[in-house]
Chain A
Amino acid sequence: MYKVKVYVTLRESVLDPQGTAVKNSLATHGYEGIQEVRIGKYMELTLDESVKDVDAAVKEMCERLLANPVIEDYRYEVEEVVAQ
């Protein structure tokens, strides 16, 4: 079994209004030195052994559905786990 952690964030070139609002709120709370806040999504996928090329499969899933390449970037980590 594999546990895949997928992180999706807005691309650097795309303004993140949620991130800006959170950054301003943190500043209001007195936290200093915060240059930027970017808000994204975190997804956990559990795959079984029938998936042969995990890397290729996850990449395809990200590009077709999990992220929108027009405005979002993605990265992922694959971890092998023992089935319970």
Chain B
Amino acid sequence: MKFAVIVFPGSNCDIDMYHAVKDELGEEAEYVWHDAESLEDYDAVLLPGGFSYGDYLRSGAIAQFSNVMKEVVKAAEAGKPVLGVCNGFQILLEAGLLPGAMRRNESLKFICKQVELKVENNETMFSAGYDQGEVITIPVAHGEGNYYCDEETLSRLKTNNQIVFTYEGENPNGSLENIAGIINEQGNVLGMMPHPERAVDELLGGADGLKLFKSIVKQWREANAVNA
């Protein structure tokens, strides 16, 4: 399986994302620059964290109009797995691939620490490797992760089971309903503030994030075995 790791000017978790896929997962990964014309060669798209375009105007606001985002939209429409982490999540929100928006953390502080997450929905291609209700430990590192959406959107998220991860115990940023990660209605675009790519090796403090990447590969293998 071949993953595209999108690199914007100001991305800074691209190398961690590449490492997670290539070295820990053992799958193919390539860096793809923000002005790329096509993502046809890839089976999945990863939008890494960082400060794309310096977070000017709003986090993700300028990145949403970069060339490659048209291709990310196409990949999403084609049903390919698209994962946005941290700034990648913010970009997915700005691009309208996921509903809602990010506000500054309630504390106004940049927060960088391990947090506990509850798996609210394990019936997605990203979370199938976890147990329903399982509590996992993944680090967060952000200043704007305070998820917000209007009531109508929230009830739609709940009805469709689109809330995949919530903060367990302490909510680090004040997000609505403790939301840490949501998926689109079609179930192939996931955005989350915590960094699974930074939790892929016990040596670095935990490997709970690896299951997320393994879930993507497993689902893809099964889908493609059927088609073959």
> Which positions in A face B, CB cutoff 8 Å?
10, 13-15, 17-18, 21, 41, 65-66, 68, 70-71
Contacts and interface: CB of A to CB of B under 8 A. Distances in A.
Given A65-B57, A65-B65, A70-B148, A18 B108 contact: yes
Interface of B: 57-58, 61-62, 65, 93-94, 99-101, 103-108, 146, 148-150, 174
Contact of A17 (B94, B99, B104): B104
Contacts of B148: 14, 70-71
Contacts of A71: 101, 103, 148
Contacts of A70: 93, 99-101, 148-150
Contacts of A41: 57
Contact of B94 (A15, A21, A68): A68
Nearest to B149: A70
29 contacts: A10-B103, A14-B148, A17-B103, A17-B104, A17-B105, A17-B106, A17-B107, A17-B108, A17-B146, A17-B174, A18-B104, A18-B108, A21-B108, A65-B57, A65-B61, A65-B62, A65-B65, A66-B57, A68-B58, A68-B61, A68-B94, A68-B101, A70-B93, A70-B100, A70-B101, A70-B149, A70-B150, A71-B103, A71-B148
Contacts of A17: 103-108, 146, 174
